[in-house]
Amino acid sequence: MAETIVTPLRPKRPCPECGRPSQRATFPFCSPRCKDIDLNRWLSGAYAIPVRDDEEDEQEATTGTGDRS
């Protein structure tokens, strides 16, 4: 029988936490430990989209909810 070459669906990438090669079962991480570290960062709020103060001021001005003293 001829051997069949299987092409992976996704390219191999390093683990975003430690840099080791990722594993199929925990993709894109290399282990359940690195996966749990990332989850903890999301749940604790370490990953957040920064908001500038001037964006909040612009939003208040357009909606009319700003404090006008």
15 is in an annotated binding site: yes
56 is in an annotated binding site: no
65 is in an annotated binding site: no
How far apart, in Å, are the Cα atoms of 14 and each of 9, 24, 61, 64? Answer: 16, 12, 45, 48
CA dist., res. 5 & res. 18, Å (int): 30
34 is in an annotated binding site: yes
CA dist., res. 8 & res. 23, Å (int): 12
Known binding positions:
15, 18, 30, 34
Known binding positions for Zn(2+):
15, 18, 30, 34
